[in-house]
Amino acid sequence: MYKYLIVCVLAFAAACAQAAVGLAQLPGIPGEGPVTVYYPAAGQDTAVQRGPFTLQLAANAQAVRGNGRLVVISHGSGGNAWVHSNLARTLVQAGFIVAMPEHRGDNARDPSTPGPESWKLRPAEVSRAIDAVAQEPRFAALLSFDKVGMYGMSAGGHTALSLAGGRWSPAEFRRHCEADIADDFPSCVGLATKLRGDFLDGVKKTVAVGVIRQRFGDEAWYTHTDPRIKAIVAGVPSAADFDAASLANPPVPLGFVTARQDKWLNPRFHSDRILAACKTCELVADMPTAGHGALLSPPPPMEMLGEIATDLLSDPPGFDRAAMPEVDRKITAFFSKHLLP
C-alpha cells in the first residue's frame, strides 16, 4: 500500500511538471487592480509579453486539476505580478494555483502611496484576492479554501507578517527611524534620497526624521486575520514597525527568506529582529551574498529604474542568480509540507 501511494504521488508530480502554466486576470473590486492568477493548464506555454518581460505562459488556457491548494503572493512596493513569475511557475509545477493582487497605490502602475498608507490596506486585499478566486468557477471547482498559503516580499513581507498575527504601528515606524535613521536610512525614506557620505548627510537625516514625525504620529496598532490562511512565508520583510512579541508564537507556520547583503531593509532591524523573537519560525532560505532584489525573479530591467532603486535592487558582486530556483523550490516545499495532506 505504501509503495502504491509513493507511485501515485510521483505520477501526480510528473503530471504537474508537464502541465503548462496558465495565466488569467480576474477583475478586482471597484477601485482596486486586477488579481493575476497562475495555474496548472492544458496546452503548451508560448511567449507572452507583459511590460518589459517575455514570459512562457499559456494565457487563458483551460485550467486542470492540481493539488487543490491556493497560494497568494503579495508584491513589494512598486511591484507587479511579473517579477514573481518564476516563483509562481515553481508553485504551479508543484500543483498549486497562485493569485497575486495588485496593491492599490503601491504598484508599478500607481506608486503614489507606499508605506503605512498601503500597509493598512494590503492584508484585506489579500483576503479579497482569495474571495475573487473562490468566486471564479474555473478555479473554485479545483480548490479547497480551508488551507491557503501566503507569500510576500519586502512590503509584501510586511503584509505576510500582519497575516501571521503580527501587530504594527505607524508610531513604531517613527520611533525606529528616530533611533536608527543612519543605519536604516533607505527603509525610512524609500527612494526619496540617499546618503552619499558628504556634508549633506546630516541635513538629510534631520529633514527625514522631521517629516517622519509629522506623518507617523498614529499610535494605533493594526492587525488583520484571515482564518483561511494556514502557512506563510515572508521574504526580506519590512518589519521594524512590528511589535516583535506579537510574533513570538504565530498561530500558523511562518517561514522567512533572508538576504544578508540587503541594502534596503537591513536584516538587523527587520527579519532578524522577528526571527530572534519567534519561537517557532522557520528559516526557509538564508542567502549570504544576496541583496534585496534577489527575490525579484525575473528582475526588472535596471535601466528602467532610477539611480537609488538601481543601487538598492541590483545584485551585489558575487551573487549568483543560478541559486534562485533552489530558493523557489524551498518556498514551495514549505507550502507543500504545511498545506497538503
Q: Where are the domains positioned within the chain?
A: 2-168+221-339
How high is the pLDDT of residue 70?
A: 98
Alpha carbon of residue 268 to chain centroid = 19
Rounded Cα distance, 81 and 99, in Å: 9
Angle at 277 between CA 246 and CA 256, to 5 degrees: 95
How high is the pLDDT of residue 19?
A: 79
Q: Which residues contact 219 (CB under 8 A, 6 or more apart)?
A: 169, 170, 171
How high is the pLDDT of residue 271?
A: 98
Find, among 23, 118, 24, the residue nearest to 79 by Cα.
118
Find, among 124, 109, 91, the residue nearest to 22 by Cα.
91
Rounded Cα distance, 157 and 232, in Å: 9
Rounded Cα distance, 183 and 48, in Å: 42
How high is the pLDDT of residue 14?
A: 44
Tens of pLDDT along 41-81?
999 999 999 999 999 999 999 999 999 999 999 999 999 99
The CATH H-level superfamily of 2-168+221-339 is Alpha/Beta hydrolase fold, catalytic domain (3.40.50.1820)
How high is the pLDDT of residue 2?
A: 38
Rounded Cα distance, 142 and 18, in Å: 18
Count the Cβ atoms, other than its own, within 10 Å of residue 334.
Answer: 22
Place of cell 519567534: 278
Find, among 75, 71, 118, the residue nearest to 295 by Cα.
75
How high is the pLDDT of residue 18?
A: 62
**Cβ proximity of 286 and 262 under 8 Å:** no
**Cβ proximity of 275 and 256 under 8 Å:** yes
Q: What CA–CA distances, in Å, run from 247 to 239, 267, 278?
A: 11, 16, 6
Tens of pLDDT along 309-322?
999 999 999 999 99
Give the three cell numbers for residue 291. Answer: 541583496
Give the three cell numbers for residue 268. Answer: 538587523
pTM for the model stands at 0.93
Q: Are strands 46-50 and 53-59 parallel, antiparallel or unpaired?
A: antiparallel
Q: Is 95 left (phi over 0), alpha (psi -120 to 50) or beta?
A: left
Q: What is the dihedral of CA 50, 56, 60, 64, to 10 degrees?
A: -150
pLDDT-flagged residues of the chain (< 50)? 1-16
How high is the pLDDT of residue 212?
A: 96
